[in-house]
Structure 1
Amino acid sequence: MSAIEEYFNRKQGGLVGELYTSAIAELVTVDLQEMKADIKLLEEEESLIMSVPIGAQQTGGFIIRPPYQVGDKVIVVFAKEDIEPVLYGGGDPSELQHDKDNAIILCGISDYLTTLPAGFAEHERDLIVANKDLTAKFVLMETGEILMDSTENISINSKKDINFTAGGVITTSDSRGGG
């Protein structure tokens, strides 16, 4: 290999080493009110990144936000462009591309050491919102049926009326024996 080829290979290796695309990180602090966290990249010794926005499923007036906890492992993506103008409502973007400062927490990641209960596979074509042990779950089934199940109390609170309409029989049971 010629000296010029070696030079460009070293230069390319240095550039690629500073190019961030995605990584696995651990949550060091979590602020669910402001939807941001401090993270540590697992692949690097000194890699604390502060005030990283937590991505959530959200549009318009709706949001689905998991209860992230300190110690959770997450997938982090690094935006190509500076994210500060988006986060702070304007301004000129910096020149940094695929930089650590452009990190966004995408989602949590599960390890293969713990498997989820069989109930998750049972609903493989349905949308499930549940805790991992399935003691509380909400299932929106592909058929249109809705299942809400809990081993604890279920509370429904409304400032206005609650209406139940059924095309058939409404059944109730009371475990206290009251009917």
Structure 2
Amino acid sequence: MTKTSMTQFVTENIEENLMNMNTCLICEVLMVDMHTFKADVLPLNDPEATPILDVPIAFHQTDQFILQIPYKQGDRVLVVCSQADIDPIMFGGGEAASRSFSANDALIIGGVNLFTSPIQNEHPDDIVIGTKDFSTKLVINEAGELSIKSSKFRVEADDIEFVGGTITANGEDLTTDLV
């Protein structure tokens, strides 16, 4: 083998290995099951891509709390591929396979808003949970104020306590009525 062909062989081998290594992909949700927190997704960067099936959906969560996002068919999501086999962690034991950055170890980590459909962000400095058009929203601003906007607001509780210096409804002071 000549030096040129050896260099070419190594270069082609490295390029082929890199092409088979997945780090992160923008995908479209094909099917989602919010009961099992899994989705089938299609990578958008490759017209010949095959769907990645049963991708776990990652959420912001702790042992006691979860922030659930209800993904739907057609949503654009960011999918990362783990450096190592996730099966032993996800299924609770067993031997890890020797694969790295495989689509078999993909995780949906969040939605992606494309530049082709920008959101007119009314609250760039606040924490917001709401619809994309902001017609329904919960906003926490830097001053610690909480605002809720909704067509209907329902509270279900065993006990409701209102505490404040001034409590108003539609501009009418209710403070004395509640005390």
How far the C-alpha of 1:25 sits from its partner, in A, is 0.8
Runs of 4+ residues over 3 Å off in structure 1: none
Aligned to 2:174: none
Aligned partner of 1:124: which letter? P
Residue 59 in 1 paired to residue 62 in 2?
A: yes
% of aligned pairs identical? 30
Which secondary structure does the structure 1 equivalent of 2:18 belong to?
Answer: helix
What RMSD in Å do the two structures reach over aligned CA positions?
1.4
CA–CA separation in structure 2 for the residues paired with 1:8 and 1:84:
32
Superposed, 1:30-179 pairs within 5 Å as 30-44=32-46, 45-117=48-120, 120-121=121-122, 123-150=123-150, 152-158=151-157, 160-166=158-164, 168-173=165-170
Q: What is the CA deviation profile of residues 41-84 of structure 1, one whole-angstrom value per residue up to 9, with x for unaligned ones? A: 12332411111001111112111111111011111100001011
CA–CA separation in structure 2 for the residues paired with 1:25 and 1:139:
29
How far the C-alpha of 1:113 sits from its partner, in A, is 2.3
How far the C-alpha of 1:149 sits from its partner, in A, is 1.0
CA–CA separation in structure 2 for the residues paired with 1:93 and 1:132:
40
Which secondary structure does the structure 2 equivalent of 1:14 belong to?
Answer: helix
Aligned to 2:5: 3
Which secondary structure does the structure 2 equivalent of 1:25 belong to?
Answer: strand
Unaligned runs of 5+ in 1: 175-179
TM-score by length of 2: 0.89
CA–CA separation in structure 2 for the residues paired with 1:27 and 1:138:
26
Could you tell me which of 29, 32, 48 is aligned with 2:31? 29
Which secondary structure does the structure 2 equivalent of 1:23 belong to?
Answer: strand
CA–CA separation in structure 2 for the residues paired with 1:113 and 1:106:
21
Q: What is the CA deviation profile of residues 12-34 of structure 1, one whole-angstrom value per residue up to 9, with x for unaligned ones? A: 11111111111111111101111
Aligned partner of 2:117: which letter? T
Count matched residues. Answer: 168
CA–CA separation in structure 2 for the residues paired with 1:24 and 1:132:
19
How far the C-alpha of 1:135 sits from its partner, in A, is 0.9
Which secondary structure does the structure 2 equivalent of 1:139 belong to?
Answer: strand
Which secondary structure does the structure 2 equivalent of 1:61 belong to?
Answer: coil
Aligned to 1:177: none
Unaligned runs of 5+ in 2: 172-179
Aligned partner of 2:82: which letter? A
Which secondary structure does the structure 1 equivalent of 2:169 belong to?
Answer: coil
